[in-house]
């Protein structure tokens, strides 16, 4: 029996809603199911301004277009330990990317390093919430307020996680979620953008709607729509929105199952953490996770390879985490070197992401943790 790294979640209601899209005879998007999904998201995370997008990448691209002033040289600060979209969205809008170091315990942005990299050109910090954990949000928010720069939360992996009761993705000026099929809930591809400052809502909506003020025509405010922003085609079809609606309705059941899986990983590997054979962050009691993933950080690349190979030999797919962006092909072209961010460079090679999806059984998790212990000589 093979244990897959990820299996897309299916709630069972998807087909019914997809068929209803045919009944509606409205396919292209921004229709009934876009409204239903958007309203559910708004209520769930208590956010007034939400735009459903066709991906988290698109949500990030809308933010980049909103913040870009083409007359100025502008910089954003972001982790190198992230997915390419966090960087690409801003680079292609013309921002200079300034990569900052991470805290190796959490693999998320180190607030002290952010502060060192702020210049008069810095426009925003883009922070990533990794693997169902929360970055040092309160410290990072304070830094952004002090320097009067925007905070963008790349919450691709963090939909339905809450810090002190407030949803991740609603702390910063903008929050970007992913509903890619590798996420807890999904629509194949989809995402969402939250906008905390109402002053940005109209422009964001124009950008979302191919740079036009078509929404105002639909509301009867103007007769003809025209080109008012540099935009894109950023919203999902009604098929995606209908699929997502089915998944959103099953969110509680989805998270409860993931918590049960997480708890077994956590309990079974705690002793290895205490012995400092490996590391993983734990949750503070004021944080409610969506239990997106479980990762371990070994003490060296060699140890990490050893555990991964042992899992693979047992038909278990485990993967390394993000490959750092600063030392990627594009990062090197931008002038970064491996040495630019030594903490990120070293620790990224030590991270192993373990299988995590709703079809895993508790026995699967016990088996995997047994293999991990064996591979590290812990059962000898
Ligand atoms: C941190 C982060 N940002 C952005 C994305 C891109 O999300 P999407 O595939 O929805 O565009 C991902 C994808 O996993 C991600 O991990």
Name the closest-CA residue to atom 8, ligand 1.
Answer: 56
The atom of ligand 1 lying closest to the CA of 322 is 16
Q: Cβ(57)–Cβ(93) under 8 Å?
A: no
| Measured distance CA(323)–CA(171) in Å, rounded | 27
CA–centroid distance, 181 to ligand 1, in Å, is 11
Cβ of 80 less than 6 Å from ligand 1: no
Name the closest-CA residue to atom 7, ligand 1.
Answer: 56
From 156, 179, 182, 353, the mutation candidate for ligand 1 (largest count of ligand atoms within 8 A of CB) is 156
Tell me the pTM: 0.98
CA–centroid distance, 83 to ligand 1, in Å, is 6
CATH 1.10.287.70 fits 251-375, yes or no: no
Number of helices and strands (H, E) in the chain? 14, 16
Cβ of 53 less than 6 Å from ligand 1: no
CA–centroid distance, 155 to ligand 1, in Å, is 8
138 pLDDT tier (thresholds 50, 70, 90): very high
* pLDDT score at 95: 98
CA–centroid distance, 24 to ligand 1, in Å, is 31
| Measured distance CA(349)–CA(370) in Å, rounded | 22
Number of CB atoms found within 10 A of residue 246's CB: 21
pLDDT digits (tens, 9 = 90+) for 361-376: 999 999 999 999 999 9
Q: Which tokens sit at 378?
A: 């812990």
Query: Of 308, 344, 343, which Cα lies nearest the Cα of 325?
Result: 344
From 56, 174, 180, 193, the mutation candidate for ligand 1 (largest count of ligand atoms within 8 A of CB) is 56
191: helix, strand or coil: strand
pLDDT digits (tens, 9 = 90+) for 257-305: 999 999 999 999 999 999 999 999 999 999 999 999 999 999 999 999 9
Q: Cβ(341)–Cβ(99) under 8 Å?
A: yes
Q: What are phi and psi of 365, to 5 degrees?
A: -70, -40
Cβ of 56 less than 6 Å from ligand 1: yes
Q: Cβ(176)–Cβ(154) under 8 Å?
A: yes
CATH 3.20.20.140 fits 14-248, yes or no: no
Q: Which tokens sit at 72?
A: 């100025």
For CA atoms 203, 205, 207, 211, give the dihedral sign. negative
Average pLDDT over residues 148-160: 98
Cβ of 55 less than 6 Å from ligand 1: yes
Domain extents in the chain: 14-248, 251-375
Which stretches of 31-95 are assigned E, i.e. beta strand?
Answer: 50-53, 75-79
379 pLDDT tier (thresholds 50, 70, 90): confident
The atom of ligand 1 lying closest to the CA of 129 is 1
In this structure, the strands spanning 75-79 and 122-128 are parallel
CA–centroid distance, 130 to ligand 1, in Å, is 11
Cβ of 184 less than 6 Å from ligand 1: no
Per the prediction, the chain carries an average pLDDT of: 97
Name the closest-CA residue to atom 9, ligand 1.
Answer: 180
* pLDDT score at 219: 85
Instruction: Spell out the residues 6+ positions from residue 264 whose beta carbon is closer than 8 angstroms to its own.
Output: 362, 365, 366, 369
CA–centroid distance, 82 to ligand 1, in Å, is 9
Give the DSSP H/E element, type plus range, for residue 203.
Answer: helix 201-208
Half-sphere exposure of 297 (CA within 13 A, CB side): 18
Cβ of 190 less than 6 Å from ligand 1: no
Cβ of 157 less than 6 Å from ligand 1: yes
* pLDDT score at 218: 85
* pLDDT score at 380: 54
What residues does 100 pair with on adjacent strands? 79
Cβ of 191 less than 6 Å from ligand 1: yes
How far is CA 207 from its chain centroid?
A: 21
């Amino acid at each position: 029996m093979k244990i897959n790294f990820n299996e897309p979640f299916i709630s069972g209601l998807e087909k019914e809603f997809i068929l209803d899209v045919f009944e509606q005879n409205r396919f292209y998007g921004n229709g009934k199911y876009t409204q239903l999904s958007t309203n559910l998201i708004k209520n769930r995370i208590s956010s007034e301004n939400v735009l459903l997008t066709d991906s988290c990448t698109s949500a990030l691209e809308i933010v980049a277009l909103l913040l870009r002033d083409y007359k100025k040289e502008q910089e954003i600060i972001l982790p190198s330990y992230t997915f390419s979209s966090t960087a690409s969205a801003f680079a292609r809008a013309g921002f200079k990317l300034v990569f900052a170091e991470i805290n190796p315990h959490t693999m998320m942005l180190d607030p002290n390093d952010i502060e060192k990299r702020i210049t008069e050109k810095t426009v925003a910090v883009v922070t990533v919430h990794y693997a169902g954990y929360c970055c040092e949000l309160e410290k990072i928010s304070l830094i952004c307020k002090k320097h009067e720069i925007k905070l963008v939360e790349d919450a691709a992996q963090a939909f339905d996680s809450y810090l002190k009761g407030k949803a991740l993705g609603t702390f910063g000026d903008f929050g970007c979620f992913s509903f890619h099929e590798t996420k807890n809930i999904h629509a194949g591809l989809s995402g969402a953008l939250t906008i905390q400052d109402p002053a940005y809502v109209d422009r964001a909506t124009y950008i979302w709607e191919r740079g036009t003020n078509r929404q105002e025509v639909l509301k009867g405010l103007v007769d003809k729509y025209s080109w008012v922003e540099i935009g894109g085609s950023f919203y999902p079809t009604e098929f995606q929105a209908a699929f997502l609606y089915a998944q959103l309705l099953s969110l509680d059941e989805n998270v409860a199952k993931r918590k049960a899986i997480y708890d077994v990983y956590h309990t079974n590997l705690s002793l290895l953490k205490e012995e400092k054979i490996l590391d993983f962050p734990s949750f503070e009691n004021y944080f409610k996770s969506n239990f997106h993933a479980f990762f371990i950080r070994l003490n060296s690349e060699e140890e990490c390879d050893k555990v991964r190979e042992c899992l693979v030999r047992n038909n278990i797919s485990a993967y390394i985490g993000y490959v750092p962006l600063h030392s990627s092909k594009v990062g090197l072209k931008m002038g970064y070197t491996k040495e630019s961010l030594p903490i990120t460079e070293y620790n990224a090679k030590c991270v192993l992401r373990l299988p995590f999806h709703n079809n895993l059984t508790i026995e699967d998790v016990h088996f995997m943790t047994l293999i991990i212990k064996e591979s590290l000589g812990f059962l000898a």
